[in-house]
Amino acid sequence: MSTVAEERNARAPWALTAPALILFVGVLLIPLAMTVMLSFHDWGQYKGIEPVFILKNWKEIATDPYYAEMFWRTFRIAILTTLLTALFGAPEAYILNRMSGRWKSIFLLVILGPLLISVVARTLGWALLFGGNNGLVNKLLMSLGVIRSPIPFMFTETGMVVALAHVMMPFMVLSVWAALQRLDPQIENAAMSLGAGSITIIRRIIMPQIMPGVLSGAIIVFSLSASAFATPAIIGGRRLKVAATLAYDEFLNTLNWPLGAAVATLLLVALVLIVIGSNALIERRYAEVFR
């Protein structure tokens, strides 16, 4: 620890963090609390928002099967997206890690760079490739006679999962790649010298060691997919609603803010519980890796 710091008084860190702390309490914690409050308010077509405390919105979400179906769709899409990214992202990270220096950094850039490119632009790309009769891949395959009618992609859950997996893939590759950096390549060589084949090495040596990376990547991908807005909105359109697009509709089209706030609050609480719970599970299971 620093000697300069010890000479100064103990109030210095608080003075330095105070502006940011005030900012966060004032315009993050208070608005979040207001949103939770809002979910208990009443709303009517003509009377607007009434600041009373009732459980109407929560009852509606709990009893109307529409919401159960919508939340189930949201989490189903998130789970499938997570599986898809793990299935392809983990092997790719492993292959990437075995490349020689220059290629490794080039491809790392190619795969991770899209993380910073607008989600709207990336989803638009999928719409261009598979969007109905005009989709470029559909047109190509139809002209080659491989398919008769365009592959259904827009307004389907499959389309949403594929496009979301593409958007989230860098997070998974990154997470597994980070786990691979901690792995000692000599262990692999040792296994080989003891006569293990490549499948055995992958199954018995590599897999157990990168599992924490896959799992922490899965948590990130899952929570981002379950709350994703742009991709489900563009691919799913107005018919296939997920939690985020439903909340958007309640806020900006129906104007039933209290109900939208209840959907958002439920999404936030569910995600926080899932993330904290699975983090705890992973850290207990793989305690030795995180030490």
Partner 1 sequence: MRRNGPLALIFHTIFVIVMVAPIVVVCLVAFTPEGFLSLPTNGFSLRWFRAIGNYPEFIHAFWVSLGLGALSSFVALLFAVPAALAIARYRFRGRDALAALFLSPLMIPHVVLGIAFLRFFTSAGFGGSFAALIIAHVIIVFPFALRLTLAAATGMDRTVEMAAVSLGAGGWTLFRRVTLPLILPGVISGWALAFIQSFDDLTMTVFLAAPGTETLPVRMFLYIQDNIDPLVTSVSACVIAVTMTALILLDRFYGLDRVLAGKGDTGR
Q: Which is nearer to partner 1, 63 or 118 (CB)?
A: 118
Q: Is 91 in the site for partner 1 (CB under 8 A)?
A: yes
| Positions 237 through 266 that interact with partner 1 (CB under 8 A) | 243-244, 247-248, 251-252, 257, 260-261, 264-265
CB 112 within 8 A of CB 173: yes
- Compute how many other C-beta atoms are within 10 angstroms of the C-beta atom of residue 183: 16
Contacting residue, 109, 194, 199, 287, with partner 1 by CB under 8 A: 109
CA-CA distance, 260 to 41, in Å (whole number)?
11
Q: What residues have CB less than 8 Å from 11, skipping those under 6 apart?
A: none
Contacting residue, 107, 141, 211, 286, with partner 1 by CB under 8 A: 107
Q: Which is nearer to partner 1, 32 or 54 (CB)?
A: 32
Q: Is 170 in the site for partner 1 (CB under 8 A)?
A: yes
Radius of gyration of the chain (CA): 24
Contacting residue, 74, 131, 241, 282, with partner 1 by CB under 8 A: 131
| Positions 208 through 227 that interact with partner 1 (CB under 8 A) | 217, 220, 223, 226-227
Q: Is 166 in the site for partner 1 (CB under 8 A)?
A: yes
Q: What residues have CB less than 8 Å from 220, skipping those under 6 apart?
A: 168, 171, 172, 175
Q: Is 155 in the site for partner 1 (CB under 8 A)?
A: no
Only one residue has tokens 């000479």, namely 7
Q: Is 116 in the site for partner 1 (CB under 8 A)?
A: yes
| Positions 261 through 280 that interact with partner 1 (CB under 8 A) | 261, 264-265, 267-268, 271-272, 275
| Three-state SS at 65 | helix
C-alpha distances in Å from residue 272, one per residue of 45, 68, 268: 32, 19, 6
Q: Is 236 in the site for partner 1 (CB under 8 A)?
A: no
Look up residue 115 and give its amino acid: L
Contacting residue, 52, 68, 87, 95, with partner 1 by CB under 8 A: 95
Cβ at position 45, least distance to partner 1 in Å = 19
Q: Is 199 in the site for partner 1 (CB under 8 A)?
A: no
- Length of the chain in residues, anyone? 291
| Cα 97 from chain centroid (whole Å) | 23
